[in-house]
Amino acid sequence: MSKIVKLFALTLVVCMVATPDLLAQDSGRGLAILGKAVGAGLAVIGAGIGLGAIGKGLTESMARQPEIAGSIQTGGLIIAAMLEGAALIAIILAVFGAA
């Protein structure tokens, strides 16, 4: 079973466990809260996958050309910072966006 299928199954189990408590709230916004949580979780998962791909590419590039490892590392850190910024914006929009 692939990692994506396992991750989806785990997310589904957590949603099934959390949904009765969320739906029992008086405000009737339980599914909206669940949707926000799932959206924020997907943003974090996407950022983790992206950072892993950046790290893999950086280490392979530095292994092939160790003489320019410093410039490769600088470029990788800039890209990783931009990815983290995009992930943070996605999390903020998922949690505090209109519902």
Q: What is the pTM of this model?
A: 0.66
**Per-residue pLDDT averaged across 46-68, rounded?**
93
Task: Pick from 16-20, 76-80, 91-95 the range whose average pLDDT is largest.
Answer: 76-80
Tokens standing for residue 17:
């466990």
Q: Say which CATH topology domain 3-96 has.
A: F1FO ATP Synthase (1.20.20)
Domain range list for the chain: 3-96
**47 contacts 83 by C-beta, under 8 angstroms:** yes
CB-count burial class (<10 Å; 0-12, 13-18, 19+) for 43:
buried
- CA neighbor of 46 nearest in space, from 76, 94, 87, 6: 87
Give how far Cα 4 sits from Cα of 32, 50, 56, 99, Å: 24, 14, 19, 27
pLDDT of residue 15: 67
